[in-house]
Amino acid sequence: MILVPEHCDVDLADEFANVIAWADVNKMIINRTKTKEIVFRRPCPIRHHLLPLVNDIELVNQIESLGVILHQGLNFEMHITAILKQCIQRMYMLRMLRSQGMSANHLNTVFVALVISHLLYALPAWGMFVSAGQCGRIDAFLRHAHKMWVL
């Protein structure tokens, strides 16, 4: 993965060559099929197409790095959608555990371990970019989860 700001003083082709040279010295291989390039930039109404700055490297609009989906405009809508989808799936599992007679105390422990920890994962990295609408989606999910366990 090559992370690139919108405006950069460094020639990225030369920088990538330095990375490849460093990998060779350290007896590592760069897998070019897994290497992606993303240019982070401010969202603007006039879209222009960027060309890849390094040959043979795919230019992408979003990537997943360490479980966080990064979009070129630092919009975390895709990330929030993905984590809420996974949390909803985990809530289904919790309903199944409750139907099998698991105690409320144990269900709470599993909820915190599987749902809350997933919502909080890497929050300092993406939380400051969340819009009010995205925050509302997370809050709505938590309110629904709370109602499910209080009743």
User: Is 65 inside a domain boundary?
Assistant: no
**Angle at which helices 104-111 and 77-99 pack, to 10 degrees?**
160
Residue 6 is assigned to a structural domain of this protein: yes
Mean pLDDT of the chain: 83
Q: In sequence order, what are the residues at sequence separation of 6 or more whose Cβ sits closer than 8 angstroms to the Cβ of residue 34?
A: none
Range(s) of the domain holding residue 30: 2-60
Comparing 103 with 41, the larger pLDDT belongs to: 103
- pLDDT at position 51 is 54
Q: Which of 63, 79, 70 is nearest to 118 (CA)?
A: 79
143 and 88 belong to one structural domain: yes
Q: List the structure tokens of 114.
A: 């599987």
Note whether residue 10 is domain-resident.
Answer: yes
Asked if residue 150 has pLDDT above 60, the reply is no
Q: Are strands 62-65 and 68-71 parallel, antiparallel or unpaired?
A: antiparallel
* pLDDT tens-digit series, residues 6-19: 677 777 777 788 88
Asked if the structure places residue 69 within a domain, the reply is no
Q: Is 66 domain-assigned?
A: no
Considering only residues 56 and 91, tell me which one the structure prediction assigns the higher pLDDT. 91
- What is residue 151's predicted lDDT score, i.e. its pLDDT? 43
